[in-house]
């Protein structure tokens, strides 16, 4: 039996979970795996100031989807505390650090989405930090 096509998404917040969910909707038979180095996925980063100001008391109220719900409701396998260390594009293998057990594993993919966020560019002007 041919193996199912496998999509791996690195990063499990807005872009990553959108990509994973869209892929699953378009191709329900596809195996979709999300790697997220943090504990949480799919949370509203925009609302973090409300948590800091105490308007939102419980951090969990910012979470849209848990890894368990992603698997149960959307068929997406989420590996939290898993950090992608390097990608071998030739062999389509990702070297991943399982931060729970502190061990390295290799994960293969057919398709890959990088949704690891970005860093702001700070212009080199006087007073910038
Ligand atoms: C305080 C605040 C307010 C904001 N307000 C607004 C707003 O009003 N409107 C708006 O449109 N946007 C707003 N934003 C921006 C919005 O939250 C971001 O655009 C959005 O979170 C980006 O999502 P993303 O999935 O691209 O990246 P991120 O949210 O940065 O997620 C990337 C994920 O990838 C993971 N990752 C990175 N490298 C690896 C790796 N090697 N292996 C495994 N995982 C990895 C990270 O742990 C992270 O969880 C706000 C952001 C903040 C912080």
Centre of ligand 1 to C-alpha 117, Å, is 5
Q: What is the pTM of this model?
A: 0.93
Is the residue at 129 inside a domain?
no
Centre of ligand 1 to C-alpha 86, Å, is 20
34 and 47 Cβ atoms separated by less than 8 Å: no
Query: Which letter, b or e, does each residue of 21-48 get, where b requires 16 or more Cβ atoms within 10 Å of its Cβ?
Result: bebbeeeeebbbbbbbbeebbbbeeeee
Centre of ligand 1 to C-alpha 45, Å, is 6
pLDDT of residue 1: 62
Is the residue at 124 inside a domain?
no
96 and 105 Cβ atoms separated by less than 8 Å: yes
* Domain housing 14: 6-114
Ligand 1 pocket, residue 15 CB under 6 Å: yes
List active site positions.
46
Ligand 1 pocket, residue 52 CB under 6 Å: no
Atom from ligand 1 closest to the CA of residue 48: 1
Is the residue at 54 inside a domain?
yes
Q: What is the pLDDT of residues 100-121, one digit of tens each?
A: 989 999 999 999 999 999 998 8
Q: What is the pLDDT of residues 2-37, one digit of tens each?
A: 689 999 999 999 999 999 999 999 999 999 999 999
Is the residue at 1 inside a domain?
no
pLDDT of residue 3: 83
Is the residue at 23 inside a domain?
yes
Q: What is the CA 90 to chain-centroid distance, rounded?
A: 23
Q: What is the pLDDT of residues 30-84, one digit of tens each?
A: 999 999 999 999 999 999 999 999 999 999 999 999 999 999 999 999 999 999 9
Ligand 1 pocket, residue 37 CB under 6 Å: yes
Ligand 1 pocket, residue 98 CB under 6 Å: no
Q: Whose CA is nearest to atom 39 of ligand 1?
A: 116
Is the residue at 67 inside a domain?
yes
Total domain count for the chain?
Answer: 1
Confidence of residue 122 (pLDDT cuts 50, 70, 90): confident
CATH number where 88 lies = 3.50.50.60
């Amino acid at each position: 039996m041919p193996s199912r096509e496998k999509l791996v998404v690195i990063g499990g917040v807005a872009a990553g979970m959108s990509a994973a969910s869209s892929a699953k909707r378009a191709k329900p038979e596809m195996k979709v795996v999300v790697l997220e180095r943090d504990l949480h996925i799919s949370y509203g980063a925009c609302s973090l100031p409300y948590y800091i100001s105490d308007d939102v008391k419980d951090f969990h109220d910012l979470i849209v989807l848990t890894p368990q719900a992603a698997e149960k409701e959307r068929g997406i396998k989420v590996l939290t505390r898993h950090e992608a260390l390097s990608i071998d594009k030739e062999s389509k293998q990702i070297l991943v650090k399982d931060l729970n057990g502190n061990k390295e594993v290799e994960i293969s993919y057919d398709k890959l989405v990088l949704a690891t966020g970005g860093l702001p560019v700070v212009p080199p002007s006087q007073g910038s930090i």
